[in-house]
Amino acid sequence: MDLVDDRFLFSTLRELAISEGLDDIGIASVDPLMDARRALKERKQRGLHGGMHFTYGNPERATSPADLLEGAQSIVVALRRYDAPLSSARPGLASVAHYVARDEYGQLRSGLEAVASYLHSQGSAAEVVFDDNRLVDRAIAVRAGLGWIGKNSMLLNPELGSWTVIGSVVTDRHIVVESQDHSDGCGDCRRCQVECPTGALDEEGVLDANKCLAWLVQAQGIFPVEFRVVLGDRLYGCDDCQTVCPVNYGKERVRIQASNRSRTVELVKLLESTDDALMKKYEHWYIPRRRAEYLRRNALVVLANVADGADSAVESVVFGALKSDSAMVRAHAVWAARQLGLSRLFLQIGYESLTTDDPKGWVSNELKMMESA
């Protein structure tokens, strides 16, 4: 296939992608992503991954796009933009990252599948890949000319900003088109670094996952005490480093909206729900080990930050959490009770009951911290 044919094919694919709700595409080679591989290994060695597995689990695999499909020659990389969040802070409500407030990945999948279907119709093999630990999506998007990696470690596209989800179609069709080489458009701006509530971006372009709220709500174990208050109303995700980014200013509304989900969560209702109901309702979230106790953990921290301890419904769910079979839930309920002025509940339940079946000492540690405060 000559360059003229490649350009025609690219134009056809781009027109199709945009009609299916995607916003831009680019073409990347399947050569190893060596810079990304070195970065993953170096940051993991420094402990900056914070226990995150995903692409850190196997850097070689995540940076070897040729292995995604037998005979792979090219990757069609696509972006779908979503609207920036509006302020939603209200007492008793938690916020979620805006990319899960609508089914953005569902819309992305639909567009990618349309591209793959067209390539199949032309006799080419094609496989859709997105939100997948087999491919470092931001690195492949940069190679495809779709932006640069900003100081907030996000992909920044000069037209779309960073409010995007990224996906790819790997194909055995060899496609050659000129990709735009975006220079670093951040310049001297450090707004994301300054505004990050935990200092997770102190080293520009490098995320310290140990401090990143978006990761900490997904990480296993106890939520770090030092970041509980600063978590604020964030139940899932954190958008701060994107909200303050000037590249995101002045963008028009998204053309094709994905199906709607709630931008806020009623914490009392969440904590009153059964585990099965929670896992069904929030199955599209990443929840450690697929265990509802992690949702309850996060909800209790946020409840302590945004609720009124004088509210009988709030007191009721905290009391219920203090009696949970999960030591993790009880531990965070202890902290929430103290923050909400509900420490009297400990006497009603009894300290011995609180610390029963506490193999890792989580509940005991929370009680000790309370006493020493």
Report the alpha-carbon distance of residue 305 to residue 227 in Å, rounded.
11
Which CB contacts under 8 angstroms, 24+ apart, belong to 252-256? 253/83, 254/81, 254/82, 254/83, 255/21, 256/21, 256/107
Among residues 83, 131, 172, 358, the one annotated as catalytic is: 131
CA-wise closest residue to 306 among 86, 87, 95: 95
Is residue 131 flagged as an active site residue?
yes
How big is the chain, counted in residues?
373
Distance CA 232, CA 255 (A): 32
Q: Which residues contact 117 (CB under 8 A, 6 or more apart)?
A: none
DSSP secondary structure, 201-257, as one string? TSSTT---TTT-HHHHTTSSSPPPGGGTTTTTTEEE---HHHHT-GGGTTPPPPSSP
One-letter amino acid of 272: E
In Å, what is the CA distance from 328 to each residue of 226, 269, 301, 323, 350? 17, 19, 12, 11, 17
Q: Annotated catalytic sites, by residue?
A: 131
